[in-house]
Amino acid sequence: MAQLKYKRILLKLSGEVLGGTQGYGIDPQIITSIALEIKDVVASGVELALVIGGGNIFRGLAASSKGMDRASADYMGMLATMINALAMQDALEQIGVDTRVQSAIAMQEVAEPYIRRKAVRHLEKGRVVIFGAGTGNPYFTTDTAASLRAMEINAEVILKGTKVDGVYSADPKKDPDAVRYTTLSYIDVLKKGLAVMDATATSLCMDNNLPIIVFDMGVSGNVKRVVMGEEIGTTVRGEK
């Protein structure tokens, strides 16, 4: 077997990825293809945890900008992430991947409560752990939740699966001169305001020297390529 570069990873997906071309709701074909990719990665010996956003169902920040109470809107967003987490759990279980959903908000009928030691034990036993409901606190994004959980479970890297093949200097769909970065420092991301993760999540990764790799989730096999050490997408790490 080829040598793995990363043994324990946290995969962060935006809710929009699950929405497919329509951008909202859950596309059964997309979620099945992601599940198959995760199965392949786990079969190679990688311990994988997952955080999924809720933007395909509800965006707390967008609702609060239109007058809804921010805390209430954020809690609704957390519930949206749980819908995605349960959908992904079902897709994985259908193809024989042992999966546990842990929620930062108590809902014992559908998910385990988030317990760090239990999450680590699940990973050690080869189960995929899906962290739902963000951090359980309003005003924090699922990017921040991904950074926090990655550090708590001692993940070696955060893989951020998006709809583009890395981080660009501008929106490549609008600006033909946009340049794709292969590597960036955390400081570059914060100074230039690049759309990698929000500032809180990036700062958290910087303080703990946790690398982030941004890549195109739409290309089949990309997660496996990253864990095998292939240079794809954009890597954000500390300055040498």
Q: What is the pLDDT of residues 55-72, one digit of tens each?
A: 999 988 888 888 999 999
Sign of dihedral through CA atoms 45, 150, 24, 198? negative
Number of domains forming the structure of the chain: 1
pLDDT of residue 193: 87
Q: Is residue 3 part of a domain?
A: no
Domain that holds residue 208: 8-237
pLDDT, mean over the chain: 93
Is 13 domain-assigned? Answer: yes
pLDDT score, position 3: 86
CATH number at residue 32: 3.40.1160.10
**Does residue 1 sit within a domain?**
no
144 secondary structure, DSSP code: H
Classify residue 169: in a domain, yes or no.
Answer: yes
Band the pLDDT of 48: cuts 50, 70, 90: very high
The two beta strands, 212-216 and 157-162, are parallel
Separation between Cα atoms, residue 111 and residue 39, nearest integer Å: 21
pLDDT at residue 229 greater than cutoff 80: yes
The pTM is what? 0.94
Tell me if 126 is assigned to some domain.
yes
Q: How confident is the model at residue 240 (pLDDT cuts 50, 70, 90)?
A: low
Mind listing the pLDDT tens digit for each residue in 19-44? Answer: 988 878 999 999 999 999 999 999 99
Q: Does a structural domain hold residue 112?
A: yes
